């Protein structure tokens, strides 16, 4: 019986009152309070997950869009941190967002930040852990929090310029200049920065679990002048790896 009531209450606060009629003593006017509370909770959850999207479009636009999304996509579990996985794809179909084609991609990066924030902890590989190892035959394991992107346009610059902690009034153009981005949490703080093409190539090779020797060959195949030792040292210092295998 409690489960049936909870299902009926959820349906009633997000739809018609009739589902709750067997439990109502009055006309159900009080449901408006619950509806507002539920709607606000879902909007607040989405605003927490997609702060960059909200900053780009403004609070009013975001609230209206979030209410529509919440009505179409109610949560499937009790953890609101997991809510909104469908939001980027939904934004791509939202008619008022068609004039802002970068929004779905920005939403994807916001989700990646959340995944990095909630990712499993892991050790951070340092230079001391390389002693005596056959680096070219070893595989470097990325930290569990690493979220890796490469775009053919300036998506990372747009996202970085509109993060909640970024300076206001930055002007970033949407151009066809390729950019990479990594988001990760080596310790307690989520970090993010743009990647050069060779940095992304190296990390992508590690993500595909290639031996470091093979990764080095792929990088130098596209950028022959790359100093592989210096490249790997920089990525190592950033805390992007956990161990060698």
Rg of the chain over all Cα atoms, to the nearest angstrom: 23
* Structure confidence at residue 180 (pLDDT): 98
In sequence order, the 6+-apart residues with CB closer than 8 A to the CB of 176 are: 152, 153
* Structure confidence at residue 124 (pLDDT): 96
- Output DSSP code: residue 231: H
* Structure confidence at residue 58 (pLDDT): 95
Structural domains in the chain? Answer: 2-105 (no CATH), 119-244 (3.90.930)
Q: What angle do CA 138, 144, 149 make, to 5 degrees?
A: 90
Q: What is the pTM of this model?
A: 0.84
pLDDT along the chain (245 residues), means of 10: 46 50 51 60 92 96 94 79 89 95 96 96 93 89 98 96 86 88 96 97 98 97 96 97 95
Distance, CA of 11 to chain centre: 29
């Amino acid at each position: 019986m409690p489960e049936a009531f909870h299902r009926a209450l959820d349906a009633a606060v997000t739809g018609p009152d009739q589902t709750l009629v067997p439990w109502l003593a009055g006309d159900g006017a009080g449901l408006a309070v619950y509806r507002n509370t539920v709607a606000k909770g879902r909007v607040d959850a989405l605003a927490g997950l997609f702060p960059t999207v909200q900053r780009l479009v403004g609070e009013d636009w975001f609230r209206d869009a979030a209410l529509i999304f919440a009505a179409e996509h109610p949560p499937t579990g009790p953890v609101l941190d997991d809510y909104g996985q469908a939001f980027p794809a939904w934004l791509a179909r939202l008619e008022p967002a068609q004039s802002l084609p970068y929004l779905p991609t920005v939403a994807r990066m916001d989700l990646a930040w959340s995944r990095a924030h909630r990712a499993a902890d892991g050790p951070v590989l340092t230079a001391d852990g390389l002693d005596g190892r056959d680096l070219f035959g070893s595989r470097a394991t990325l930290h569990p929090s690493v979220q890796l992107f490469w775009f053919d346009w300036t998506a990372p610059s747009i996202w970085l310029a509109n993060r909640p902690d970024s300076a206001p009034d930055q002007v970033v153009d949407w151009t066809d200049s390729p950019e990479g981005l990594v988001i990760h949490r080596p310790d307690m703080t989520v970090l993010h920065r743009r990647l050069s093409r060779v940095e992304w190539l190296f990390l992508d090779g590690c993500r595909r679990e290639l031996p470091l020797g093979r990764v080095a060959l792929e990088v130098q195949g596209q950028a022959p002048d790359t100093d592989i030792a210096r490249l790997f040292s920089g990525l190592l210092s950033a805390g992007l790896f956990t161990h060698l295998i």
